[in-house]
Amino acid sequence: MTDNSPLPVGAFTFVLHGAGGDLAKRKIIPALAHLAKSGYFSAESRIIFAQREALSPEEALAQVDSFLKAAGDEAARESIPALLPYLHTLQVVLGTPESCRAMANAVTGSPEPVVHYAALPSSRFIDLINCIPTVRDPSRLRLVLEKPLGFNAKESALIEEAVAAKLDESQVYRIDHYLGKQAVQNMLALRLGNRIFEPLLTREHVAYVQITVAEDLGVEDRAGFYEHAGALRDMVQSHILQLLAIVAMEPPVSLEANSLRDEKLKVLRSLKVPQITGVPEIVVGQYGEGYVKGQAVPKYRNEKGVAANSTTETYVSFRTEVQTWRWAGVPFLVRTGKRMPRRFAEIVIQFRDVPKPLFEPVGGQWVGNQLVIHLQPEDKLELKLLAKTPGERERLKPVSLDLDFFNTWRIPVRDAYERLITDILRGRLGLFLRRDEVQTQWQFVDRILNDLKSHGMEPVPYTSGTYGPSSATAMALRAGALWSEDGL
């Protein structure tokens, strides 16, 4: 058996709540279908689509196929029929005793573990949790919660209290799909499995760290959610803070889930809240009209479902620091936004220059060594070194050493949701968030939001198709940094 050969999981029951929603159709169901097609599921396993509409399994899959066809995702469509042998459907209206009874009947006698996957708005989490029996045994019952867990620390705590009343922490899988990406897992391998880099990831050698998650799309059909969330809640609260924690954490004593999460938590608790007064360390923006990929696009306030006077931020960048001995004084620069020129996500670790440059840089400006972790649209690692250019002049130019996972292994890289779903079914918690991590992340974001509100700081407009407000460039320059605008 090769590393890429399917390692089947044991029999299970997987109840997908919110199976009719966009997230389920776009990500979760295609991942389940591809796993089924690839031979990961035993014949005894059951997958139950729970949703408000009464549908047969065939009708439910036809709806998914139609959704994927409209999205142009032909690769995902090919796997959808593989789900039919495992599929059952259940009409559920959460918050009613009848639905709780129907859920209980649907899983009676089914293979264990029973996994309840909440692909739902967080406002419905407590209704679902109230329907789940109190079973404190991870081999029998598991609960998966999608982000965001509420819209602030207070709401999140209420959800967590309801969860804790029914389940042990070992039964709860708080999912952030970025942690299922191959490049993120290879960041762990790079740090913890190779002697060459770990000693260099310190304040003595690193000039700054930069994390970018850029989207070329606007709010699309998510205005109902996004108007309440904004970039800070949607992207920073989980995705970006988790990436930052993995970059900055100390080596754990083992790869056991709590060892990893203990170290991430120390980073999250040490983060400096960006200052707003004096020299600001945060910029919030909202996209205006412009052009993306040659197409004219409207401003955020003209999008369907958005208030005409909306002050929701579609862009945020800020400077923080990890206030530990390893990282004290190193700027961590974060940036995320919509309607940017291209879609890409990356982590850039910029190393300090040599103490005494002996060569002349091409272009008259030093770039220095960089380690770049590309997360999307492709997963790969890139190490940028300075090499002498051909000819007689002693000039250096950056060259890249690339680890492209597909070209290296010659096998398709598994989708993040596929990896996370198999980990859930196998009872592996290492790539999922613990309650105290989520709470600490919310406290950090709540503090920023409260500071912005108390100082009356509203989003500044930026032109669609650009990398955000010019004040974000100035903020990075004050930290001695330049934003990466290459993507892939």
Collapsed DSSP state (helix, strand, coil) of residue 266: helix
Which phi and psi angles does 79 have, rounded to 5°?
A: -90, -15
- Edge-to-edge strands, sheet with 87-91: 87-91, 46-51, 13-17, 114-118, 141-146, 172-175
Residue 202, both tokens: 């310190």
Q: Which residues contact 255 (CB under 8 A, 6 or more apart)?
A: 192, 430
Q: How far is CA 222 from CA 52, 218, 219, 241, 314, in A?
A: 20, 9, 6, 22, 12
Residue 401's H or E segment, with its range, is: strand 395-404
Per annotation, catalytic residue among 116, 177, 239, 374: 239
Q: 239 an active-site residue? A: yes
Taking only Cα atoms into account, the Rg of the chain, rounded to an integer number of angstroms, comes to: 23
Q: How far is CA 381 from CA 208, 240, 372, 401, 406, in A?
A: 18, 18, 6, 8, 12
DSSP secondary structure, 36-66, as one string: HHTT-S-TT-EEEEEESS---HHHHHHHHHH
Local structure of residue 411 (DSSP, 8 states): S
Active-site residue numbers?
239
